[in-house]
Chains A and B, each alone.
Chain A
Amino acid sequence: MGNGRKAFSPIGLEERARGFYWQMFLVAMLWACAAAGSAQVQAPTLAIDGLGKGTAAIDGPWQFHLGDDPAWVSANIDDTTGHGGWEQITANEPWGAQGRRSYTGYAWYRKHLHVTPAPGASPDFAMLIVHIDDIYEIYWNGVLVGHNGKMPPGPSWVYEQGAQTFGVGHLRDGVLAVRVWKSPLNSFDSGLQGGFYAPPLIGSPAAIADRRTSMEYRWLHHRQYFFGLHSLYALVMVLSVLTWMRDRSQRVLLWMAVFSGAPLLSMFLVDLRLPLSFGFALGWLQPVLSINDIGLWFLLLYLLRLDENRRLARFTKILAIISLVSTTLDGLLTMVDWSNPAITSAAQLTDAVLTAIFTLVEAYPVVLVGFALGKRLDLARWLVAGCAFLSGMVNVTRIALEQGSRFTHWTIGDKIAAPLFTINDNPFTAATLAATALLLAIVYAVYQYSRETIQRQQAIEQELRSAQELQRVLVPEALPSLPGFALTSSYRPAQEVGGDFFQIIPLEDRSALIVLGDVSGKGLRAAMAVSLIVGALRTLAENTGSPAAILAGLNRRLHGRLRGGFATCVVMRLDPDGTCVVANAGHPAPFLNKQEVELPGTLPLGVDLDVAYSETTVQLRAGDYLALYTDGLCEARTPAGELYSFDRLNDLLASRPDAARATEAAVTFGQQDDITVLTLTRLALGQESRTELIAPALAPA
């Protein structure tokens, strides 16, 4: 398991520093030899006299036995040192640090006590356990007086908790027996754990409660910086999410939220002393740490401008999946009952393999920084690179050295994890300092990055506004009245500026040219092509009213200027008597009443100079309905990819919709491209001509 952050401080010395609560008490160690010249030493009795309002540590040698036997609960067994496997150790530090390295499973501690209350003191006592690794039961003269966690099978215990207190009643003469179970070792365990971390304390219930409160206060006091740093993480996460919601194109903010949110989750799991089981807390911690790492990788990709390197970005994604899968599996493994001897070895081996993967990928920030070395970056980004390198090196060294330390006996990992200095009792380790520096550098760099992005966007928006103003000229905002026709039009660009165009140009002989077209592509480039077309069209229309001649002229002017693209275009001359002459360059044919006008297929404008355009004449009668449209109408697509298609279009146009209704049908279906629709209805003699135009407000006038 990759969590090298858990470290219970053996605070026996601190606990033994007597405060003002301590009253006078006498510790007398009564030693007696069972027999002169024998190796066997009778268990000593700890006498605590005059115990009143203060507390006393149950320290000194304890009788200790590895293994488990229900008989050891009794006050009357022979636990003489050297007899039946009984030995002596202290409760000042774990058994792993007292010559029983890497022992896991059951063990018993026994202490013979003689307690004399101070005159007038409470007759009942309470006990405080600082920490016992992992699960324990406390017996006084064979009677259970307290326990923490659930013993195997199916063991469970809290990942990290404060001191535990128990009422132990009239405690006078007898034996305090503590049955302990230590879980099989994880990959990061040094083997120095197991059992007591500090001697238990006894005292009046009020004194024990005071003691516990003061320890909890100290715990909070020690973590002022930790909680301050995590408050900063929370603030950064909230600001990142809020800013990202305003501009979802800024993915760097999303990764910032991931990077700063993961430590908060981690804090809730293991640092707030919430009553979460060891399996649950450590199980979830693994993927959370992985998410933290992944957030950092993607931040580095963006901030160090490595996202342009597609292979590296792809590799990072693959590594992210590997990390997440390995930590999730490792997390699930933690939730399995390792106390079952049948699976202990397999679980430990799997843990070691999965943790090795996790540990290797921990070094990835260092690799990313290596890729950034050749780049020209500003100071903010170099700060990120430097801090990421430092943080990566500290973490990977510490975690790598902690892994398997029970075999190597290397203590460098522990030394790296140890505080470099303290300020106001708050420890500052290399990892803490590196994490703080990294967070501050990243916040500064993300701020710079977002500012640059916003400036770039503002420049683009300014360009777009200019283009929109240009397009206002190109798409008519008012249509001239055509004698003998009712006309509706609708224009709906897919982007802020589009590639569709239409023009109605009245000619001197009371006829009019109607031109509708579509430049391939969208956006600014298409809009610029449209401006070229409209300018050329207006010039050509001054000299000819022939649709085919106009198309030929446009084709000559556009050839070689559309960068491999083209423009489809239909030109129609409409005479007051209803005569309609049409020429087409690759555009959907006009729709007359129930069907398309038959036109020969012809190459669009701008692709080949040698194209001849032909003209087709149609005579429109009163009541005839003619619709012109761009392919955005028939190529509307649902999110699943289904096309609106010519079949639906034929049905739609056969119902003689006005331009607005036809456009709306395609937009509802799934607009992908600019849509322009123009409908003409031939009026009977005496009916008043009318026009209707629907176009978005393209830009303020």
Chain B
Amino acid sequence: MQATTKVTQRTATSASGSAVGILALSGDISSASKDAILGAYQALDGTTPAKVLLDFTSVDYINSSGIAIVIQMLLEASKSGSRTIAIFGLSPHFQKVFTMVGINKYAALHGNEAAALASL
């Protein structure tokens, strides 16, 4: 029943005029998504500047192992201090879950892409 995770990369410009890398995730996010997500994130190194948006608009479900992957990514970015990450497109359910596990302390949660770009 689990849909495969797909990650596509695109770029946009934030309200402040800086380039933003966007990783658009889709399908289900679970332990099986680790390579796809971290691989796409690491592929950003050297190609885009310090601002990254994670797009969850097309994500159907995130289990606890999937949340662990997101946390791992955010912690690494936070500790290296080189990158600002923000998140948008979460369903209300997962917005609550992300807040519950404290993700919002490491990445701001926005309703949509425009709001996310405006904040960067």
Contact = CB atoms under 8 A, between A and B. Distances in A.
Contact of B102 (A603, A631, A643): A603
Contacts of B67: 520, 566
Interface in A558-574: 564-566, 568
Interface stretch (B4-12, B13-21, B92-100): B92-100
Given A564-B72, A607-B72, A645-B93, A521 B99 contact: no
Contacts of B60: 641
Interface string B95-111: 01101111111000000
Given A564-B34, A603-B101, A673 B63 contact: yes
Contact of B100 (A588, A607, A635, A639): A588
B77 interface: no
Main SS of the interface on chain A? loop
B100 A637 contact: no
A117 interface: no
B67 to A, nearest CB: 7
Nearest to A518: B64
Interface in B31-61: 31, 34, 60-61
Contacts of B65: 520-521, 565
Contacts of B114: none
Interface in A565-616: 565-566, 568, 586-589, 600-604, 607-608
Given A601-B100, A641-B1, A646-B96, A568 B64 contact: yes
A564 B69 contact: yes
Interface residues of A, number: 29
B31 A602 contact: no
Contacts of A641: 1, 60-61
A607 B64 contact: no
Contacts of A589: 100
Interface string A629-663: 00100110101010101100000000000000000
Given A521-B65, A608-B75, A568 B96 contact: no
A509 B31 CA distance: 43
A520 B64 contact: yes
Contact of A601 (B69, B72, B75, B102): B102
A602 B93 contact: no
Nearest to B78: A608
A518 B75 CA distance: 21
Given A566-B68, A607-B68, A643 B61 contact: yes
A657 B88 CA distance: 35
Nearest to A584: B100
B101 A568 contact: yes
A601 B68 contact: no
A586 B100 contact: yes
A645 B67 CA distance: 17
Contacts of A607: 68, 71-72, 75
A641 B34 CA distance: 21
A65 B114 CA distance: 86
A566 B102 CA distance: 13
A565 B66 CA distance: 9
A565 to B, nearest CB: 5
Nearest to B96: A646
Given A586-B101, A601-B104, A566 B71 contact: yes
A562 to B, nearest CB: 8
Contacts of A568: 64, 101
A658 to B, nearest CB: 25
A631 B64 contact: yes
Contacts of B61: 635, 637, 641, 643
Nearest to A589: B100
Contact of B71 (A600, A603, A637, A645): A603
Contacts of A673: 63-64
Contacts of B75: 607-608
A643 B100 contact: no
Interface of B: 1, 31, 34, 60-61, 63-65, 67-69, 71-72, 75, 93, 96-97, 99-105
Interface of A: 518, 520-521, 564-566, 568, 586-589, 600-604, 607-608, 631, 634-635, 637, 639, 641, 643, 645-646, 672-673
10 contacts: A521-B65, A566-B67, A588-B100, A601-B104, A601-B105, A602-B102, A603-B71, A604-B101, A641-B61, A645-B93
A-B pairs, top 4 by smallest CB distance, nearest first, are A520-B64, A586-B101, A601-B102, A603-B102
